[in-house]
């Protein structure tokens, strides 16, 4: 579990960070391409970047990818949303009922330590081969991450703030809205970054084990004919979409957690970048 | 002017005594100690705060001042003893009081304005009206321009002022203040003290004002209660402050009467501070 606020802002200006990242990415592709071309690693098992790109382009040009991609994204989103909401509700509920929390404690720990991917075939039996068995898998993965973070978040509420708000006359519902939820939010968001990845895992593994469409299904088909480029193309595609979803989460996080002090307070001066012309330009934080 | 110091702390209960705002009777607070035993922070405290009286409580650090306020606010149930609020035994939270905590107690996820308006909204006031009142209070504590700041964007002194407005906006008959100004610099502090006196003179609440600053205690209060060093603290002396009101804290500190009071109280307090220090050294 990540702790909230774990977002150190280094002294490096954001733009040069981006430069480094792009260079690193290109470097990886060039190294991969070079190693394959020089036959240091076998192309049969590792594919090659150019072939992967061609495959991706073909998928999008013919439009054959859309049905798979949309299917996977729907499963992921459903797993993500249902898992998050149920984790949030259960986490709040149990955290505010210590008695219940104690009763449920061993059960929750047991359920969490179970290797839940094993349930994929069972879910296929229960929910069929459509999207719902994949959603169910995603939910079981996402739920616990969110649940434990919310639970922790509620426990971490500052007792002084809580006492103060209670003395100001807040009732239970108001306490929830004014204290518990906002206090848990930072914990929820730190868990959501993990949850995005897990929702994808649930969807793709579910598809991999039995389905008629989806990116996981595509990868399985490609593996069946040793089409390694398609496998890698599928994985890359999933990665990109997981990243995009993570960016969306980060955006929402920034909006909702405006009240949080950055780990290291920064002045406006520190957030400026010197442009080559020597002018100082403010950068949007 | 006379310095009255009573060693038996409470006047004998007269039959027609008006209801005290807060009355602690035989209050004892024990905490679980570190080594499995119990630590008696407060023992057999009798304390009476009259309606519209300003009482300052001083005592060595760690003696149990915050503990007493927690008891008076209903946040902490004493191990034994009774708490009466306007004559009624206190059960649960003290709804007649507002509490300014020693530690930061603002909601970090709400702006200054929202923090101040919160109590009114809890009382189901309409949002527009609550915000209008909150703005008014924001101006009164000198933060008109900072309505939209979050606590982390304010200085310690600004946060204290928001907390003061947050407490006073509810207009409670009892005000519990735990070293509210100790984090402020001298100048701001005197401004705030004057401000507090001014607000109090307009609308006399019963105040328990905990502080470790004797000058502050004398310049603000009607009565100064000195607590003994812990463990098992209890009031050892109390002094009626007969300085005339209205007072201006920076000026009143120069007067002869003030100095005499200060000397007299300090003699008592110093003994307790030294005891506390010796105790802490083991
Ligand atoms: N919840 C608690 N558990 C155990 N001990 C406690 C607890 N609260 C207070 N104490 C102890 O009771 C004593 C009195 O604490 P209190 O906070 O009331 O002191 P104080 O007079 O307010 O000190 P200061 O001036 O430093 O704020 C201290 O020795 C403290 O260690
Ligand atoms: Mg204290």
Distance CA B187, CA B165 (A): 19
Which letter does DSSP use for residue A177 in this model? I
- Which residue in B77, B90, B107 has the most chain A C-beta atoms within 10 A of its own C-beta, making it the best mutation to test that interface? B107
Q: What is the pLDDT of residue A3?
A: 47
Residue owning tokens 């009482």:
B55
Q: What is the pLDDT of residue A224?
A: 86
Contact B109, B128 (CB under 8 A): no
Closest partner residue to B75 (CB to CB) among A163, A169, A183 is: A163
Note the pTM of the prediction, 2 decimals. Answer: 0.79
- In the 3-class helix/strand/coil scheme, how is A69-116 assigned residue by residue? HHHHHHHHHHHHHHHHHHHHHHHHHHHCCHHHHHHHHHHHHHHHHCCH
Classify strands B174-178 and A272-274 as parallel, antiparallel or unpaired.
unpaired
Distance CA B22, CA A76 (A): 59
- Ligand 1 mean position to B66 CA, how many Å? 7
Closest Cα in chain B to A164: B105
The alpha-carbon gap from A281 to the nearest alpha carbon of chain B, in Å, equals 23
Could you list which residues have their CB under 5 Å from ion ligand 2?
A: B 66, 102
Q: What is the pLDDT of residue A196?
A: 87
Q: What is the pLDDT of residue A277?
A: 39
* Residues in chain A with pLDDT values less than 50: 1-7, 270-285
Which atom of ligand 1 lies at the shortest distance from residue B33's CA? 4
Distance CA B67, CA A184 (A): 29
Tens-place pLDDT, residues B114-140: 999 999 999 999 999 999 999 999 998
Contact B264, B219 (CB under 8 A): no
How far from A210 is each of A120, A201, A213, CA to CA, in Å? 9, 14, 9
Distance CA A198, CA A75 (A): 12
Tens-place pLDDT, residues B203-221: 899 999 999 899 999 999 9
Q: What is the DSSP string of B89-128?
A: EP-SS-TTEEEE-SS--S-TTS-HHHHHHHHHHHTT--HH
Compute and round to an integer the Cα radius of gyration of chain B: 19
Q: What is the pLDDT of residue A135?
A: 93
Say yes or no to pLDDT of B4 above 70.
Answer: no
Q: What is the pLDDT of residue B174?
A: 94
ipTM field: 0.86
Percentage of chain B surpassing pLDDT 70?
A: 94
Tens-place pLDDT, residues B161-175: 899 999 989 999 999
- Which of these, B221, B222, B160, B179, lies nearest to B68 by C-alpha position? B179
Which letter does DSSP use for residue A272 in this model? E
- Ligand 1 mean position to B61 CA, how many Å? 9
- Which of these, B133, B123, B121, B114, lies nearest to B95 by C-alpha position? B123
| Residue B134 CA to its chain's centroid (Å) | 22
Say yes or no to pLDDT of B6 above 70.
Answer: no
Q: How confident is the model over B139-163, as a mean pLDDT?
A: 90
- Which of these, A68, A96, A82, lies nearest to A141 by C-alpha position? A82
Closest Cα in chain B to A168: B119
Q: What is the pLDDT of residue A272?
A: 41
Q: Answer whether A185 sits within 8 Å of B109, measured CB to CB.
A: yes
Closest partner residue to B105 (CB to CB) among A164, A185, A265 is: A164
Is B124 near chain A, with CB under 8 Å? Answer: no
Residues in chain A within 8 Å Cβ distance of B108: 161, 259-261
| Residue A120 CA to its chain's centroid (Å) | 20
Q: Answer whether A160 sits within 8 Å of B166, measured CB to CB.
A: no
Q: How confident is the model over B128-155, as a mean pLDDT?
A: 92
Spell out a b/e string for B188-202, using b for 16 or more CB atoms within 10 Å of the CB, else e.
Answer: bbbbbbbebbebbee
Atom 23 (ligand 1) nearest CA: B62
Q: What is the pLDDT of residue A117?
A: 82
- Ligand 1 mean position to B231 CA, how many Å? 10
With a 6 A CB cut-off, is B31 part of the ligand 1 pocket? yes
pLDDT band at B5 (very low <50, low <70, confident <90, very high): low
Residue B14 vs residue B56, higher pLDDT: B56
Tens-place pLDDT, residues B245-275: 899 988 999 999 999 999 999 999 999 999 9
Say yes or no to pLDDT of B84 above 80.
Answer: yes
3-state secondary structure of A274: strand
Q: How confident is the model over B29-38, as a mean pLDDT?
A: 85
Residue owning tokens 């922790």:
A152
- Which of these, B79, B68, B89, B92, lies nearest to B28 by C-alpha position? B79
With a 6 A CB cut-off, is B142 part of the ligand 1 pocket? no
Contact B63, B229 (CB under 8 A): yes
With a 6 A CB cut-off, is B229 part of the ligand 1 pocket? no
**Cβ atoms < 10 Å from Cβ of B145:** 9
Q: Answer whether B119 sits within 8 Å of A169, measured CB to CB.
A: yes
Classify residue A237 as exposed, middle or buried by CB count within 10 Å of its CB (0-12, 13-18, 19+): buried
Distance CA B184, CA B249 (A): 15
- Which residue in B94, B95, B109 has the most chain A C-beta atoms within 10 A of its own C-beta, making it the best mutation to test that interface? B109
Residue A2 vs residue B156, higher pLDDT: B156
Q: Which tokens sit at A64? A: 């054959």
Q: Which tokens sit at B157? A: 């002194």
- Which of these, B68, B49, B5, lies nearest to B267 by C-alpha position? B5
Contact A215, A234 (CB under 8 A): yes
């Amino acid at each position: 579990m990540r702790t909230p606020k774990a977002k150190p802002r280094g002294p490096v200006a954001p733009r040069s960070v981006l430069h480094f990242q792009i260079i690193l990415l290109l470097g990886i592709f060039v190294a991969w391409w070079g190693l394959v071309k020089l036959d240091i690693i076998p192309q049969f098992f590792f594919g090659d970047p150019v072939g992967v790109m061609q495959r991706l382009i073909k998928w999008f040009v013919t439009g054959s990818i859309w049905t798979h991609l949309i299917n996977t994204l729907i499963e992921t989103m459903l797993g993500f949303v249902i898992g998050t909401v149920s984790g949030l509700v259960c986490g709040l509920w149990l955290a505010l009922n210590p008695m219940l929390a104690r009763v449920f404690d061993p059960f929750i720990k047991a359920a969490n330590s179970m290797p839940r991917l094993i349930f994929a075939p069972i879910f296929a039996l229960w929910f069929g081969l459509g999207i719902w068995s994949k959603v169910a898998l995603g939910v079981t993965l996402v739920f616990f991450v969110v649940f434990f973070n919310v639970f922790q978040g509620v426990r971490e509420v500052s007792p002084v703030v809580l006492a103060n708000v209670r003395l100001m006359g807040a009732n239970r519902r108001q306490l929830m809205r004014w204290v518990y939820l906002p206090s848990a939010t930072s914990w929820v968001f730190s868990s959501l970054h993990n949850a995005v990845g897990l929702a994808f895992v649930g969807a793709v593994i579910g598809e991999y084990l039995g389905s008629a469409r989806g990116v996981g299904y595509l990868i399985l088909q490609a593996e069946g004919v040793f089409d390694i480029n398609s496998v890698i193309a599928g994985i890359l595609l999933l990665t990109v979409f997981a990243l995009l979803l993570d960016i969306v989460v980060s955006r929402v996080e920034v909006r909702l957690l405006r009240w949080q002090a950055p780990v290291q307070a920064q002045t406006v001066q520190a957030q400026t970048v010197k442009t080559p012309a020597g002018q100082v330009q403010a950068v949007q934080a | 002017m006379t310095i009255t110091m009573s060693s038996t702390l409470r006047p004998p209960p007269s039959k027609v005594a008006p209801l005290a705002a807060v009355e602690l009777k035989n209050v004892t607070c024990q905490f679980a100690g570190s080594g499995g035993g119990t630590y008696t922070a407060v023992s057999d405290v009798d304390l009476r705060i009259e309606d519209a009286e300003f009482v300052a409580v001083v005592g060595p650090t760690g003696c149990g001042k915050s503990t007493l306020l927690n008891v008076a606010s209903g946040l902490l149930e004493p191990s034994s003893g009774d708490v009466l609020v306007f004559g009624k035994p206190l059960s649960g939270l003290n709804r007649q009081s507002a509490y300014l905590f020693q530690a930061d107690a603002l909601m970090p996820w709400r702006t200054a304005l929202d923090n101040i308006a919160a109590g009114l909204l809890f009382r189901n006031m309409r949002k527009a009206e609550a915000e209008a009142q909150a703005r008014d209070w924001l101006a009164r504590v000198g933060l008109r321009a900072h309505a939209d700041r979050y606590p982390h964007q304010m200085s310690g002194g600004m946060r204290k002022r928001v907390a003061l407005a947050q407490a006073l906006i509810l207009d409670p008959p009892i005000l519990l203040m735990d070293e509210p100004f100790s984090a402020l610099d001298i100048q701001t502090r005197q401004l705030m003290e004057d401000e507090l006196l001014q607000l109090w003179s307009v609308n006399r609440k019963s105040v328990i004002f905990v502080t470790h600053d004797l000058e502050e205690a004398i310049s603000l209060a009607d009565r100064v209660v000195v607590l003994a060093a812990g463990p098992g603290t209890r009031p050892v002396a109390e002094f009626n402050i007969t300085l005339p009101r209205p007072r201006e804290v920076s000026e009143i500190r120069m007067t002869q009467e003030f100095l005499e009071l200060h000397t007299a109280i300090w003699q008592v307090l110093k003994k307790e501070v030294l005891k506390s220090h010796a105790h802490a050294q083991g």
